[in-house]
Amino acid sequence: MRWRSFPLPLLLFSFLTLLVGRAAVSGFRICSYNVQKFNTMKAKNYRLIHTLTRIVSRCDICLLQDVFDPKGEAIKILLSSLNRYEHYSYRSVASEALGKSKEDMQQYVFIYRMQTVNVTDKYQYKGNEYFDRDPFVVQFQSKNTPIEKFILVPLHTNATLAVKEIDRLYDVFEDVSKKWNNTNVMFLGDFHASCAYLTRQDKKNIRLFTDSNFSWLIGDRVDTTVTDKTSCAYDRIVVYGQPFLKAIRPFSARVYNFAKEFKLSKTRVLEVSDHFPVEVRLKSSALLHQATPLLILFSISAVIQSMFSAL
Binned average pLDDT, 10 residues per bin, the chain of 311 residues: 45 45 67 98 97 97 97 97 90 96 93 97 90 97 95 97 98 97 98 96 97 98 96 98 97 97 96 98 70 47 50 54
Q: Give the start-end residues of each E strand in 10-134.
A: 28-38, 61-67, 90-94, 107-113, 118-124
Which pTM value belongs to this model?
0.85
User: Domain-by-domain residue ranges, the chain?
Assistant: 28-283
Residue 14 CB contacts under 8 Å (≥ 6 apart), including other chains:
299, 302, 303
Residue 305 pLDDT: 54
The secondary structure of residue 272, as a DSSP letter, is H
Q: Are 46 and 298 in contact (CB under 8 A)?
A: no
Query: C-alpha distances in angstroms, 294 versus 10, 20, 290?
Result: 15, 11, 7
Q: Which helix (H) or strand (E) holds 278?
A: strand 278-282
Distance CA 118, CA 91 (A): 9
Domain 28-283: CATH class, spelled out: alpha beta
Query: Nearest to residue 236, comparing CAs of 17, 31, 14?
Result: 31
**3-class DSSP string for the chain:** CCCCCCCHHHHHHHHHHHHHHHHHHHCEEEEEEEEEEECHHHHCCHHHHHHHHHHHCCCCEEEEEEECCCCCHHHHHHHHHHHHHCCCCEEEEECCCECCCHHHCEEEEEEEECCCCEEEEEEECCCCCCCCCCCEEEEEECCCCCCCEEEEEECCCCHHHHHHHHHHHHHHHHHHHHHCCCCCEEEEEECCCCHHHCCCHHHHHCHHHHCCCEEECCCCCCCCECCCCCCCCCEEEEEECHHHHHHECCCCCEECCHHHHHCCCHHHHHHHCCECCEEEEECCCHHHHHHHHHHHHHHHHHHHHHHHHCC
pLDDT of residue 22: 46
Please state, in angstroms and rounded to a whole number, the distance separating the CA atoms of residues 123 and 108. 12
Over residues 87-102, the pLDDT tens digits come to 899 999 999 999 988 8
